[in-house]
Chains A and B, each alone.
Chain A
Amino acid sequence: MKYIKEFRDPKLAQKMLNDIWHNTKKDITIMEVCGTHTMSILKNGIRDLLPPNINLISGPGCPVCVTPQWYIDTAIALSERDNVIITTFGDMIKVPGKSSSLKLEMALGRDIRIVISPLDALEMAKQNPKKEVVFLGIGFETTAPIIALSIYKAKNENIKNFSILQSIKTMPNVMKEVVKDPQVNIDGFLCPGHVSAIIGVKPFEFLSEELNTPAVIAGFEYCDIIAAIYYLVDMANKEKYEVKNIYNRIVKYEGNEKATAMMNKVFVLSNSEWRGLGNIKDTGFKMKEAYKNYDVKSKIDIKIIPSPIPKDCLCGEILKGIKKPTQCKLFSKVCNPSNPIGACMISQEGTCGAYYKYKIR
Chain B
Amino acid sequence: MCIAVPAQVIKVTENKALVNFGGVNIKVDTSLVDVLNIGDYILLHAGCAIEKLNKKEAQKTLELFEHILKDE
State the A residues within 8 Å of B (CB): 1-4, 6-7, 12, 15-16, 19, 22, 34-36, 61-64, 89, 91, 116-120, 138-140, 142-143, 145-146, 149, 192, 194-195, 197-198, 223, 227, 230, 246-250, 256, 258-259, 262, 347-349
For B46, list chain A residues within 8 Å (CB).
89, 116-118, 139, 143, 146
Residue pairs across A and B with CB atoms within 8 Å: the count is 133
B66 interfacial contact with A, CB 8 Å:
yes
> Is A119's CB under 8 angstroms from B2's CB?
no
Q: Which 4 A-B residue pairs are closest in the complex by CB-CB distance?
A: A117-B47, A249-B58, A248-B57, A3-B6
Knowing A2-B6, A12-B65, A63-B2 are in contact, say whether A117-B48 is a contact too (CB < 8 A). Answer: yes
Can you sample 28 A-B contacts with CB below 8 Å?
Answer: A2-B41, A3-B41, A6-B62, A16-B69, A62-B1, A63-B2, A117-B48, A118-B47, A142-B4, A142-B45, A142-B50, A143-B45, A146-B32, A146-B47, A149-B31, A149-B48, A192-B2, A194-B45, A194-B50, A197-B51, A248-B57, A249-B53, A249-B58, A250-B43, A256-B50, A258-B34, A259-B33, A262-B31
A91 close to B1 (CB less than 8 A): yes
Shortest CB–CB separation between residue B44 and chain A, in angstroms? 10
Using known A-B contacts A246-B61, A246-B64, determine if residue A116 contacts B47 with beta carbons closer than 8 Å.
Answer: yes
Interface centre among A142, A149, A250 (most CB of B within 10 A): A250
A7 to B61 CA separation, bound complex (whole angstroms): 9
Q: Which residues of A contact B57 (CB under 8 A)?
A: 248-249
B50:A120 contact, CB within 8 angstroms: no
B1-22 interface bits toward A, Cβ cutoff 8 Å, 1 = contact, 0 = none: 1111010000000000000000
Question: Using a Cβ–Cβ cut-off of 8 Å, how many residues does chain B contribute to the interface with A?
Answer: 33
- Check if B66 sits within 8 Å of A149, measured CB to CB: no
Contact A143 B1 (CB under 8 A): yes
Residues on A with C-beta less than 8 A from B48 are 117, 119, 145-146, 149
Which of B43, B46, B54, B69 counts the most chain A CB atoms within 10 A?
A: B46
Report which of B1, B47, B59 forms a contact with A1, defined as CB distance below 8 A: B59
User: Which B residues are in CB contact (< 8 Å) with A192?
Assistant: 2
Distance between Cα atoms of A185 and B12 in the complex (Å) = 48
Tell me whether B51 and A223 are in contact (CB under 8 A): no
Chain B residues whose C-beta falls within 8 Å of the C-beta of A64 in the assembled complex: 1
Beyond known contacts A1-B59, A146-B46: 17 more, CB 8 A cutoff: A1-B55, A2-B41, A16-B69, A64-B1, A117-B46, A139-B1, A139-B2, A142-B4, A142-B50, A143-B2, A145-B48, A146-B50, A149-B31, A198-B51, A230-B68, A250-B51, A349-B3
